[in-house]
Every structure is written in structure tokens, then in C-alpha cells.
Amino acid sequence: MSNLSKEVSQFVDHISKRNPHEPEFMQAVTEVAETIIPFMEDHTKYKEANVLERMCEPERVVMFRVPWSDDQNSIQVNRGFRVQMNSAIGPYKGGLRFHPTVNLSVLKFLAFEQVFKNSLTTLPLGGGKGGSDFNPKGKSDAEVMRFCQSFMTELSKHIGGYTDIPAGDIGVGAREIGYMFGQYKRLNNEFTGVLTGKGLDFGGSLIRTEATGYGLIYFAKEVMDEHDDSLEGKICAISGSGNVAQYAIEKLIEFGAKPVTVSDSGGSIYDPNGIDTEKLEFIKELKNERRGRISEYADKYKGSEFHQDITPWNFKVDFAFPCATQNELPLEDAKTLVKNGCKGVFEGANMPTTDEAVAYIRENKLFFSPGKASNAGGVATSGLEMSQNAQRLYWTRDEVDYRLKMIMKSIHTNCVDYGKESDGYVDYVKGANIAGFVKVADSMIAQGVV
Ligand code: NDP
């Protein structure tokens, strides 16, 4: 083992001992340590200030009880969290996730990633993440509202327009944000931009709903431009059928690509004829209005197939866009993608590709963009929503879209600056980690030992 890899494993062991039983958090830390520790060898000021270890420790974690009454008047209890990871470059910013799998490890991994992602956006945003193990699926609107009000009653003590500005994530869409905003406003008697992803009538930004999916495809287009390639005519696999997947598909269609898969936690759809605008409208109505299962797609569209036990990575495609959840693309699937001639994987979800799969994809020199770079369009547009709220005005759709494009372009340029290797291959993982790290680390050093 080289001295450097020994140093990485010693660091990872040390952090792991302090954070036992947190596999997702340690996965995110390990991926960052592998690129940042070698970088710190040549930039010793970061090592001397012990910046990386400090970044692995959240500035604050709040955990709380969320009691609520269901429609049968039974009292339920869930657990609420907010991980305030790093405020070196701005107030904490990051989504809230409501899903039964939410625990401290998942939220710490998401908050840690968020610090790097927010730094990459060029906006003054620190990193945080929160949520609850509450499952909104199958609950009535009234139950979701009572839960959101109880959750916000406690969370409101720890957030604020200049402190911490949460947003949505899995299980937290416009409905949940609306209920939480209403409760915050009622408790504090102030109308302030304390949450992003708000409805357009009360402070929300145009394009915020579309931003993560659109931004992902803008990033992929930058990668294509860098390598004299194009998305036109390319066959694409997408996982998920929620917010990120829907708008990634919309932009892929606009750029002339052919999306052929979608999925949900029940299985995958393969449609060799391609998902066009009409089929996408069906998916939006199915998932957003009726909250139905993706298997219905195969009942409606002849020639498409529903597979309960197969991920979208088992079909012959040019590019893959994992847009569902963490660790949904394991090594076996990465091997299948490579075998089938796939040329690139662009993460729309957070950490959807396992460590081993990422290593395999990079070894095989496919394009690979980590979520912290390619899905940063969502939080970037949340930052633009904050700017509009602060100025008490609304920008047009074109203005927000233009800014989103420019931000994705600049994230790409930063990744290339720090990630281009001597043979011309761009290591976007290395590029994103170092570019995100430098700004936060320099700010932490400038602010002293706090
Ligand atoms: P949604 O809740 O809108 O959609 C999530 C989708 O993923 C659903 O189709 C869901 O299926 C599916 N899914 C969840 N778990 C699994 C699983 N184990 N296997 C297969 N499919 C699954 O969430 P978003 O689209 O907002 O978020 C998706 C990812 O993108 C997350 O990792 C999130 O952190 C990340 N992200 C989101 C941003 C945003 O702006 N929304 C910003 C940046 C990152 P089902 O319907 O069955 O639950």
C-alpha cells in the first residue's frame, strides 16, 4: 500500500470510529477523502488546518420527536432531523426528505455532499439536510398537513432566512413545502423566504420544479460539447419517475435524445419506441396527480415492458441517468452498462452509484458525473429563489433558465479545471470534489478555528 493510500485509509478509519453504524455517511466521506487527501499533499495549508476532518463533523445536529394524529385519531410518532453541516460560505441550505429509510447516516451523507455541491454552484450557500422517517405515501392530505405542522413547530426554532433555508427532496414536494411554509409563517408572524420550492403564488421561483432535471441535462450537454459529441439521437436509460427523472426526460426529448426507461420502487419500464412528450405527460399525471405505480405505463403503451426485478441498467443504451435514490446502480449493473457499450453515466440522484460501480466506470473511462456536480441545478435555482425573495421581485422563466444554464456551465468548467488528466480524460469526481472543497476550505481557514 502506498503512503498516500495508507493515509486515506487511516483517515477513513478515524472518522469511521467516531461515526459507527453510518455506512452511507462513510461512503460519501471515503469518496471525498480519496481525491482530497492527495490534493492536500501539494497544498499543505489545508492539512495543517485539519480542514477535512473539521468538514466531516456537522456544525450542529438537531433530532426531535414529531407527534401527530392520523385520521382515526390514533397518535403516531416519527423522528425529525436537521443536520447543519457547514456554514463557511453561507447559511445552511439543503432539502428535507420524508421517507421510511431516513436516518442519521443517510442525512449526514446528504448534508456532507450538499456542502461540496453548494460550493460548486458559485452561490453563497452552506450545506445542510434534514427530514423524517415519515412516509407520506398512502396518507391523506389532512394527515400530511398535520404531520408537516408538527414537524415545522419544532424545526422553526432552528431555521431562518439568514440561518438555514430548507427545501424539498424525496417525499417533499410542493404540497409539503406549502404546509410547512404556512406553519412557519403562523408561528413567526413573518412572511420570509425561509423555505425554497414554494408555490409560484407565494414566493416560489419559475423553473425551480424543473431545475434539477434540466440542470442535469445541461451538464450532460456541456460534457458532450467538451468531447465533440452530442445528445442528439442518443438512447438513454433513466431511473426513477419523480421530479428529477421527469424533467431530465423532458430536456432529453428537447435535445433530440431518445429516453427508453423509467422506474419506481416497484420496477422498471423499458420502452424501445422511446418516451415522447405525450408519454411523459402520462407519467407526470400518473406520479404527480394520481400517485400511481409506474407499471401502469406498460398497460397503456403497446410495445413497452414492465420488469419487476430488473433495473433500467440492463438495456442497451448510450447514456445512463440514475435519478431515483442512493446506491441504485451497483457494480453488476455497471458491468452490464459497459458491456452493452454505454458511454457515460450522469448522476441525477444523490450517490446513486455504489463506490465499486463508480470505480469500475472510471477505470473503463466512461464519462461519469457525480451528483454533487450534475444535480446541483436544483439547489442553484433555490439560491435564485432566495435572491428573488430578498429583492421582493420575480424573474421571468427565461431569466431563471438562462442563469441555471450559466451555473451548470461554470460547474462543468470548474470540474474540467481540476479534473483533466494528462491523457485528456476528465475525472469529474476529482474535479468536483476539489473545486467544491477549495472554496469552503479557504473560507474556513479565513474564519479561524470556529
Ligand atoms: P421524488 O420523490 O420525486 O422521486 C423519487 C423517485 O425515485 C420515485 O419515482 C421513486 O419511486 C423512486 N425510488 C425511490 N426509491 C427507489 C428505489 N429504492 N428503487 C427504485 N426507485 C426508487 O424525488 P426526486 O426526484 O426529487 O429525487 C430523486 C433523487 O434526486 C434523490 O436522490 C434526491 O436526493 C435527488 N435530488 C433531488 C433534487 C430535487 O430538486 N428534487 C435536487 C438534487 C438531488 P416511488 O414512486 O415508488 O417512491
Establish if 268 belongs to a structural domain.
yes
Residue written as cell 445512463? Answer: 320
Q: Look at residues 135, 160, 190 and tell me which one is the last residue of a structural domain.
A: 190
Same-domain status, 217 and 348: yes
Same-domain status, 108 and 225: no
Establish if 370 belongs to a structural domain.
no
Same-domain status, 220 and 304: yes
Who's near 404: CB < 8 A, 6+ residues apart? 207, 211, 214, 215, 218, 377, 380, 381, 384
CATH code for position 327: 3.40.50.720
95, 168 contact by CB (below 8 A):
yes
How far CA 157 is from CA of 56, 66, 187, 188, 235, in Å, comes to: 24, 14, 10, 10, 48
Establish if 376 belongs to a structural domain.
no
Give the active site residue among 93, 108, 117, 129: 129
Q: Look at residues 319, 346, 365 and tell me which one is the last residue of a structural domain.
A: 365
Residue nearest to atom 40 of ligand 1 (CA): 378
Rounded distance between C-alpha atoms, residue 447 and residue 147, angstroms: 39
244, 221 contact by CB (below 8 A):
no
Mean of the per-residue pLDDT values of the chain: 97
> Whole-structure pTM over 0.75, yes or no?
yes
Percent of the chain with pLDDT over 90: 99
Tell me, what DSSP letter sits at residue 20? T
Q: Look at residues 321, 339, 365 and tell me which one is the last residue of a structural domain.
A: 365
The helix (H) or strand (E) run that includes residue 289 is none
| Backbone φ, ψ for residue 269 (5° rounding) | -105, 135
Same-domain status, 172 and 227: no
Same-domain status, 88 and 231: no
Ligand 1: centre distance to CA 239 (Å)? 9
Does the beta carbon of 329 sit less than 6 angstroms from any atom of ligand 1? Answer: no
Same-domain status, 215 and 346: yes
CA angle 211, 212, 218 (to 5 degrees): 80
pLDDT of amino acid 161: 95
Question: What digits encode the pLDDT tens for the residues 276-289?
Answer: 999 999 999 999 99
Does the beta carbon of 376 sit less than 6 angstroms from any atom of ligand 1? Answer: no
Which of 58, 123, 51 minimizes the C-alpha distance to 86?
58
Rounded distance between C-alpha atoms, residue 318 and residue 204, angstroms: 36
Establish if 15 belongs to a structural domain.
no
Structural domain tally of the chain? 2
Q: At residue 35, does pLDDT exceed 90?
A: yes
380, 361 contact by CB (below 8 A):
no
Residue nearest to atom 19 of ligand 1 (CA): 265
Atom of ligand 1 nearest to the CA of 197: 40
Does the beta carbon of 243 sit less than 6 angstroms from any atom of ligand 1? Answer: yes
pLDDT of amino acid 270: 98
Establish if 258 belongs to a structural domain.
yes
How far CA 28 is from CA of 289, 292, 346, in Å, comes to: 34, 32, 17
Does the beta carbon of 244 sit less than 6 angstroms from any atom of ligand 1? Answer: yes
Same-domain status, 185 and 218: no
Residue nearest to atom 36 of ligand 1 (CA): 349
CA angle 428, 429, 435 (to 5 degrees): 80
Same-domain status, 186 and 215: no
Does the beta carbon of 265 sit less than 6 angstroms from any atom of ligand 1? Answer: yes
CA angle 237, 243, 248 (to 5 degrees): 40
Establish if 407 belongs to a structural domain.
no
Same-domain status, 169 and 254: no
How many residues make up the chain in this entry?
Answer: 450
Summarize the confidence of residues 223-251 as an average pLDDT: 97
Establish if 423 belongs to a structural domain.
no
Ligand 1: centre distance to CA 350 (Å)? 9
Establish if 1 belongs to a structural domain.
no
Which of 149, 169, 136, 139 minimizes the C-alpha distance to 67?
149
Rounded distance between C-alpha atoms, residue 172 and residue 19, angstroms: 27
- Known active-site residue 185: no
CATH code for position 76: 3.40.50.10860
Does the beta carbon of 240 sit less than 6 angstroms from any atom of ligand 1? Answer: yes
Same-domain status, 161 and 74: yes
Same-domain status, 172 and 252: no
pLDDT of amino acid 1: 60
Same-domain status, 70 and 126: yes
Per 3-state DSSP, what percentage of the chain is helix, strand, and coil (rounded to 5)?
Answer: 50, 15, 35
Ligand 1: centre distance to CA 445 (Å)? 36
Q: At residue 2, does pLDDT exceed 90?
A: no
Q: At residue 340, does pLDDT exceed 80?
A: yes
Q: Range of 145's domain?
A: 60-190
